[in-house]
Structure 1
């Protein structure tokens, strides 16, 4: 009888999810999350940060292999209705997601930052083509949301909504930095740290970075959704190595971040993918933000190439169909980057490629590209949605030249 269910009482930290890191540069982490901590963390983020209520219909464009699916499913605990979708967000037209918002009456809508940039490049103006009467909150994650994408959302989608860029990851199946409906939205910033999360931005020596100074995103006290263990990590050594080797008794998350005068945050890229030209540490996200403003460029990936006892910045770009990278476009790309960042951000080399390698959850794999460029092995190609794309970066003659 399906109505006769036996509910077994289990420990608070009983395993509920096993999630895998991408593993593109090493053996994947087999991250095991506990039921109680995951539930508390998600309820906090849904109800207190997103203002999720029983009357809401919440959607996040995600595959079942991305932690945002787990995050979305927990919305049922608040009594909300979840909306699921299978297929491309740009099929049968680039406006497919806005059709869904109107059709399903979605109130809280989530997607990847690249989708928002894609809508802008496609010339969508949803405020004119759709009603969007139910939409009150838009969430963005997967990569840093560019300031220009904030402009686009409020200019061309809807003015009276809360646009929240959020960031966390598989490791915590939740967020360190996210939005808040009672706080102002500042262009290019994540609004706040999660409630109950002792987030600090630390310098390499472990001291707290000043406002506007870049550093490592860390958490100095325990929090509910820490993994209970890594599966198969009998002595806990892999767990400790993954998060606690950089700073004693402090979780180092691997993001390169600064805190703003607005008490918000800006993510500049992954710590292990930051660039070091001339010994100065800069984030890849700062470069992507400028490149994304150019209509000719659909997407890009940036790495640091070891070159003559230093590191030089190399930018790979995928252009619109039929376009070729010429000196004029290279010059405009460099000028856009120099104008809005610093001379150190300007790529020494800009190379056109036919495809950008990504994980199955859509994230660009900078470290895998860097390994291929340097002739190093790439582990766990199964984590990539398009592993064959890595061959486009192997033994490029342009990268053997000054």
Structure 2
């Protein structure tokens, strides 16, 4: 286990540690890949990674463009095992297996012991279409209750309110026709443009590939007047400013590589994106702040990696001095 910033003093630090320890398995977040890609490093050439067999990546969907980078820059015989799980079940839902192919942007299979399906709003299974991720039979490690929830109401509301008796986890997923799983983002943070549901991961795949953008976060907020606002917040690389040229390039890339519906209403520069302690972007808390909810009702300091980042969004939502300017 490594404690500290995995990118200090540079994007090669974690790969250096893997080489020094002759690690067989390395666990990372997708941000490590993106940082290496943007820095132009080749860990497989710069460090001795001959002992490395598997890279486990989780915390957020791994963008499809990271897969060929791992193959070419890290090692073609290293298995990139993109996985998705949950702290609440202390395990995984979908991942990789040594006897399954690896498809860029996809998780090879549901993991053992998980009856994973994608359902539409009426509870019908879907193949090749985005739906709600559900678990149709008990897993070995599912929780049976919450603390301080004596009648179980909060527990049932969290997981079983949409499909009674069936665990709905809150992710948008696609089960492909070859059995793999694609994670599109949190369903409670779903983007909705002109009645069409979009996954935030599709936007991150494009924007995070732009060298001038260090990280991004997109939300879709329903407005009191019935309108809908979809801003894209970007953390810029050092020395970069968000001018009209960069805004237009981001919008053009999203239009061409995703669709016109993926183009945000505004592109806004922020100093940092807040995450959970496990590295997931806090889309829903930021959305709630934008919609006017008080910060103390949105998140607690010990649950996020940077409470200052959330405070910034609260100031932005309130229109206080120092908040970012809209594009």
In the alignment, the residues of structure 2 paired with residue 320 and residue 399 of structure 1 have an alpha-carbon distance, to the nearest angstrom, of: 16
Q: What does residue 387 of structure 1 align with?
A: 307
In the alignment, the residues of structure 1 paired with residue 137 and residue 238 of structure 2 have an alpha-carbon distance, to the nearest angstrom, of: 49
Going from structure 1 to structure 2, the CA distance change for 1:249 and 1:161 (only over 3 Å counts) comes to: same
Q: What does residue 177 of structure 2 align with?
A: 261
Q: What does residue 207 of structure 2 align with?
A: 291
Pairwise CA distance, 1:331: 1.0
Deviations 1:2-40 (A, max 9, x none): xxxxxxxxxxxxxxxxxxxxxxxxxxxxxxxxxxxxxxx
> Secondary structure at the residue paired with 1:225?
coil
Q: What does residue 272 of structure 1 align with?
A: 188
Q: Could you tell me the TM-score, scaled by structure 1's length?
A: 0.75
Pairwise CA distance, 1:138: 0.7
Instruction: Determine if the alignment matches structure 1 residue 236 to structure 2 residue 152.
Output: yes
Pairwise CA distance, 1:399: 9.8
Higher relative contact order (Cα pairs below 8 Å, separated by 6+ residues): 1
Q: What does residue 87 of structure 1 align with?
A: 4
Q: Which moves more between the two structures, 161-170 or 113-122?
A: 113-122
In the alignment, the residues of structure 1 paired with residue 10 and residue 209 of structure 2 have an alpha-carbon distance, to the nearest angstrom, of: 22
Larger Rg: 1
Instruction: Determine if the alignment matches structure 1 residue 319 to structure 2 residue 236.
Output: yes
* Aligned ranges 1:3-402 → 2 under 5 Å: 84-209=1-126, 211-307=127-223, 309-378=226-295, 379=297, 380-382=299-301, 383-393=303-313, 394=316, 395-396=318-319
Pairwise CA distance, 1:347: 0.6
Pairwise CA distance, 1:220: 0.6
Q: What does residue 42 of structure 1 align with?
A: none
In the alignment, the residues of structure 2 paired with residue 337 and residue 361 of structure 1 have an alpha-carbon distance, to the nearest angstrom, of: 27
Pairwise CA distance, 1:186: 0.6
Deviations 1:25-74 (A, max 9, x none): xxxxxxxxxxxxxxxxxxxxxxxxxxxxxxxxxxxxxxxxxxxxxxxxxx
In the alignment, the residues of structure 2 paired with residue 375 and residue 232 of structure 1 have an alpha-carbon distance, to the nearest angstrom, of: 28
> Is the 8 Å Cα contact of residues 137 and 163 (structure 1) preserved in structure 2?
yes
Pairwise CA distance, 1:401: 8.3
In the alignment, the residues of structure 2 paired with residue 361 and residue 161 of structure 1 have an alpha-carbon distance, to the nearest angstrom, of: 24
> Is the 8 Å Cα contact of residues 189 and 265 (structure 1) preserved in structure 2?
yes
Deviations 1:71-100 (A, max 9, x none): xxxxxxxxxxxxx22221122332111111
Q: What does residue 32 of structure 1 align with?
A: none
> Is the 8 Å Cα contact of residues 267 and 326 (structure 2) preserved in structure 1?
no
RMSD after superposition: 1.9
> Is the 8 Å Cα contact of residues 201 and 218 (structure 1) preserved in structure 2?
yes
Structure 1 residue runs of 5 or longer lacking an equivalent are: 1-83
In the alignment, the residues of structure 2 paired with residue 381 and residue 242 of structure 1 have an alpha-carbon distance, to the nearest angstrom, of: 19
Pairwise CA distance, 1:228: 3.5
Deviations 1:277-320 (A, max 9, x none): 21211111110110011000000110113355232321000111
Q: Could you tell me the TM-score, scaled by structure 2's length?
A: 0.92
> Is the 8 Å Cα contact of residues 132 and 172 (structure 2) preserved in structure 1?
yes
> Is the 8 Å Cα contact of residues 230 and 239 (structure 1) preserved in structure 2?
yes
> Secondary structure at the residue paired with 2:220?
strand
